[in-house]
């Protein structure tokens, strides 16, 4: 994190360079060089709509037509790229546009899958995993693949029923974790033939489809089609038999229809984000106060899950009575204790819970946006603390609390020796974590007659850190690619030996032979491989954990955007 923090402060409106780079690297990572090349150009162009047509992409990337087409197909399939037609009037070429949000979500895939596992078990995990890996799928094909995979992991003689899997699938849809893909935009020629905008003939060039329609704007978004699915997961047989079977099975599967062809499903990231947000609040309460209060907040959040809109600043008011009734019996919280906890939560400076009224034994809300802001502030504070030490963090917190302070006041309040305080303050200033505000007494800005006030602006600082995080992730990925490239030969060798071992074992070789092959990797090479594995694990873990920070800062920035508008 620290190494990557070399000033990346552009965040206003336009996407920062760090973010863009991160996008490119992400796609590079998951798919291929070719598609990332295409993406880079369409991202780097980044003029107002950032859209490009096929011809320009081919020209810019300097790759063959077929390859560009194929990579565009892949990008569209995974939702990392959208296309629209007729922006410049009917008949104009189809334009492609990258969705940086979707690309950055790739980082969070493990977290989505893990969340699905905790909520809906292995079946949910596999459903989400398959959908993420393939971009979008139909219900029937998802159920089939998942059932097959589950059967694969079961004991001999057992198999997974399709019905069970599709039950989990519908549960995921009911809780809005999955949604239908929006229907594709119609081609420009069709639009012109059907008089879509007869009321405004004077302005035919109005961009009809520049705004990408959200999936939620379609009424059938969470409606499950009627699917006829019966049967059980099939066990994939190993080696050559499997191949034959597969070939024999394929046409049979294709000929079957399940009544949901053309209805594709995708993962609803926003819903997952709400879940993550709620979890973050609950764990924060648990860390700040105790387990019991966190359970109370969890109950409140669960109660208002359905009634509160995703962008609301706080949940709908809940009376203490209602909360008491909804508390799971296993907690053993009596009514007076609940009241005490609620007052405690309201009095807490983090302001996770607020009081909205007195009726019904007191009305309480969870301040979602305030909680996010406070969590983001805590994150920024800890970044300052870990990078510049606890005394700098003290100055930083002081500025956050007192808003504007002169240098002398900082030195006094923070109780840090003047010279050190100055040093720290200037370092923070140079890193853009602290801002300087001039207040001249006279219009000539003479330094002797001007107040120099230091202040901290939380939102711009959060934005800056967010960009740094993106850059960090990009650096982590680059480093991982570098590490694997460096020891490519070694990796290939170990892979080869594993393959040989596997084939020997299958052929029923003698143990002496096996050990002989195993010894082809020397001990130093083994050590190197082990070190490499450690490094890569560390880099991958770091990627996951930086993404948690990214999530928090992103949600905070988004929440400020929605609460002001």
Partner 1 sequence: MTTTTDALLLVQFSNGAPSTFTVMAGKGRGVAAFTFNIEALGIGRGSMPEARVGPSPLFPNTDFKPIPLKAGEDEDYMLALKQEMRGTMQRLPHNIKPHKSKSEVERYAERYLKQRRVTDEEWTPDWNLLPKELMPQKKKLRVKTVTKKKTVKISSKDTKDVLNKLDELAKTEDGNPEKSDDETEKEKKPRGEDEEEVEAEEYEEEDIEEDNDYIESYFDNGEDFAADSDENMDGEATY
Interacting positions 245-274 with partner 1 (CB under 8 A): 262, 264
Q: Is 233 one of the binding residues for partner 1 (CB under 8 A)?
A: no
Interacting positions 323-362 with partner 1 (CB under 8 A): none
Please give the Cα distance from 525 to 89 (Å, whole number). Answer: 62
Q: Is 91 one of the binding residues for partner 1 (CB under 8 A)?
A: no
Q: Which is nearer to partner 1, 156 or 240 (CB)?
A: 240
Of 316, 422, 479, 535, the one binding partner 1 by CB under 8 A: 422
Binding map of partner 1 across residues 142-181, x = CB under 8 A, - = no contact: ---------------------------------------x
Of 170, 292, 321, 450, the one binding partner 1 by CB under 8 A: 450
Please give the Cα distance from 304 to 314 (Å, whole number). Answer: 10
Please give the Cα distance from 391 to 492 (Å, whole number). Answer: 50
Residues 6+ away with beta carbon under 8 Å from 300: 315, 318, 323, 353, 364, 366
Please give the Cα distance from 287 to 282 (Å, whole number). Answer: 9
Q: Is 311 one of the binding residues for partner 1 (CB under 8 A)?
A: no
Please give the Cα distance from 434 to 431 (Å, whole number). Answer: 8
**Total residues binding partner 1 (CB under 8 A):** 78
Of 29, 101, 210, 457, the one binding partner 1 by CB under 8 A: 29
Is residue 134 within 8 Å of residue 121, measured between CB atoms?
A: no
Q: Which is nearer to partner 1, 30 or 305 (CB)?
A: 30
Q: Is 451 one of the binding residues for partner 1 (CB under 8 A)?
A: no
Q: Which is nearer to partner 1, 14 or 499 (CB)?
A: 499
Is residue 182 within 8 Å of residue 215, measured between CB atoms?
A: yes
Q: Which candidate, 3, 269, 13, 252, places its Cα nearest to that of 136? A: 269
Q: Which two tokens stand for residue 307?
A: 């009634």
Q: Is 184 one of the binding residues for partner 1 (CB under 8 A)?
A: yes
**Residue 166 CB coordination number (10 Å):** 22
Tell me how far, at minimum, the Cβ of 29 lies from partner 1, in Å: 7
Q: Is 507 one of the binding residues for partner 1 (CB under 8 A)?
A: no
Tell me how far, at minimum, the Cβ of 393 lies from partner 1, in Å: 11
Is residue 75 within 8 Å of residue 35, measured between CB atoms?
A: yes
Q: Is 426 one of the binding residues for partner 1 (CB under 8 A)?
A: yes
Please give the Cα distance from 204 to 198 (Å, whole number). Answer: 9
Of 11, 132, 300, 410, the one binding partner 1 by CB under 8 A: 132
DSSP-derived secondary structure for 104-143: HHGGGHHHHHHHHHHHHHHHHHHHHHHHHHHS-EEHHHHH
Please give the Cα distance from 393 to 433 (Å, whole number). Answer: 11
Tell me how far, at minimum, the Cβ of 321 lies from partner 1, in Å: 35
**Residue 130 CB coordination number (10 Å):** 18
Please give the Cα distance from 456 to 436 (Å, whole number). Answer: 9
Interacting positions 521-540 with partner 1 (CB under 8 A): 537-538, 540
Stretch that binds partner 1, among 8-16, 24-32, 199-207, 396-404 (CB under 8 A): 24-32
Q: Which is nearer to partner 1, 19 or 129 (CB)?
A: 129
Please give the Cα distance from 66 to 82 (Å, whole number). Answer: 19
Tell me how far, at minimum, the Cβ of 297 lies from partner 1, in Å: 20
Q: Which is nearer to partner 1, 309 or 442 (CB)?
A: 442
Of 44, 77, 92, 207, the one binding partner 1 by CB under 8 A: 77
Of 113, 172, 314, 333, the one binding partner 1 by CB under 8 A: 113
For strands 435-440 and 405-406, give the pairing. unpaired
Q: Is 386 one of the binding residues for partner 1 (CB under 8 A)?
A: yes
Tell me how far, at minimum, the Cβ of 168 lies from partner 1, in Å: 18
Tell me how far, at minimum, the Cβ of 227 lies from partner 1, in Å: 17
Q: Which candidate, 78, 47, 72, places its Cα nearest to that of 210? A: 47
Q: Which is nearer to partner 1, 231 or 440 (CB)?
A: 440
Of 16, 86, 124, 135, the one binding partner 1 by CB under 8 A: 135
Q: Is 407 one of the binding residues for partner 1 (CB under 8 A)?
A: yes
Q: Is 186 one of the binding residues for partner 1 (CB under 8 A)?
A: no
Is residue 173 within 8 Å of residue 72, measured between CB atoms?
A: no
Q: Which candidate, 131, 424, 359, places its Cα nearest to that of 267? A: 131
Q: Is 488 one of the binding residues for partner 1 (CB under 8 A)?
A: no
Of 26, 57, 72, 338, the one binding partner 1 by CB under 8 A: 72
Q: Is 35 one of the binding residues for partner 1 (CB under 8 A)?
A: yes
Please give the Cα distance from 76 to 135 (Å, whole number). Answer: 9
């Amino acid at each position: 994190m620290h190494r990557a923090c070399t000033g990346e402060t552009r965040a206003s409106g336009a996407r920062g360079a760090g973010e863009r780079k991160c996008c490119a690297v992400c796609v590079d990572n998951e798919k291929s060089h070719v598609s990332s090349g295409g993406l880079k150009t369409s991202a780097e162009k980044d003029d107002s709509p950032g859209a490009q047509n096929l011809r320009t992409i081919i020209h810019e990337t300097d790759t063959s037509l077929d390859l560009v087409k194929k990579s565009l197909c892949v990008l569209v399939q995974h939702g990392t790229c959208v296309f629209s037609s007729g922006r410049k009037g009917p008949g104009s070429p189809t334009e492609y546009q990258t969705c940086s949000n979707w690309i950055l979500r790739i980082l969070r895939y493990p977290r989505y899958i893990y969340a699905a596992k905790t909520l809906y078990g292995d079946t949910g995990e596999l459903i989400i995993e398959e959908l993420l890996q393939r971009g979008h799928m139909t219900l029937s094909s998802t159920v089939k693949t998942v059932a097959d995979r589950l059967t694969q992991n079961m004991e001999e003689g057992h198999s997974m029923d399709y019905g069970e899997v599709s039950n989990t699938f519908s549960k995921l849809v009911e809780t809005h974790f999955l949604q239908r893909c929006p229907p594709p935009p119609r081609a420009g020629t069709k639009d012109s033939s059907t008089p879509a905008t007869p009321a405004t003939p004077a302005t035919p060039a109005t961009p009809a489809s520049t705004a990408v329609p959200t999936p939620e704007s379609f009424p059938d978004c969470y409606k499950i089609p009627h699917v006829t699915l019966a049967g059980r997961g099939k066990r994939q047989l190993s080696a050559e038999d499997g191949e034959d079977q597969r070939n024999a099975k394929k046409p049979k599967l294709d000929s079957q229809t399940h009544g949901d062809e053309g209805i594709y499903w995708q993962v609803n990231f926003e819903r997952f984000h709400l879940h993550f947000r709620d979890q973050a609040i609950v764990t924060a309460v648990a860390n700040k106060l105790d387990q019991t209060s966190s359970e109370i907040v969890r109950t409140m959040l669960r109660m208002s899950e359905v009634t509160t809109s995703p962008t609301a600043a706080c949940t709908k008011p809940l009376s203490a009575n209602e909360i008491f009734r909804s508390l799971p019996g296993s907690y053993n919280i009596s009514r007076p204790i609940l009241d005490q906890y609620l007052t405690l939560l309201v009095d807490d400076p983090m302001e996770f819970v607020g009081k909205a009224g007195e009726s019904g034994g007191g009305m309480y809300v969870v301040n979602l946006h305030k909680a996010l802001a406070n969590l983001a502030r805590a994150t920024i504070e800890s970044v300052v603390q870990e990078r510049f030490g606890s005394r700098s963090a003290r100055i930083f917190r002081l500025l956050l609390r007192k808003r504007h302070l002169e240098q002398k006041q900082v030195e006094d309040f923070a109780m840090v020796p003047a010279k050190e305080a100055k040093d720290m303050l200037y370092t923070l200033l140079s890193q853009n974590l602290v801002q300087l505000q001039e207040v001249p007494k006279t219009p000539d800005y003479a330094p002797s007659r001007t107040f120099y006030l230091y202040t901290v602006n939380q939102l711009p600082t959060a934005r800056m850190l967010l960009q740094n995080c993106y850059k960090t992730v990009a650096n982590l990925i680059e480093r991982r690619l570098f590490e694997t490239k460096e020891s490519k030969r070694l990796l290939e060798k170990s892979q080869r030996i594993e393959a040989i071992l596997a084939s020997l074992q299958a052929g029923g070789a003698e143990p002496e032979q096996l050990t002989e092959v195993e010894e082809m990797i020397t001990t130093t090479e083994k050590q190197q491989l082990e070190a490499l594995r450690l490094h890569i694990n560390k880099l991958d873990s770091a990627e996951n954990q930086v993404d948690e920070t990214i999530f928090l800062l992103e949600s905070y920035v988004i929440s400020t955007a929605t609460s002001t508008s």
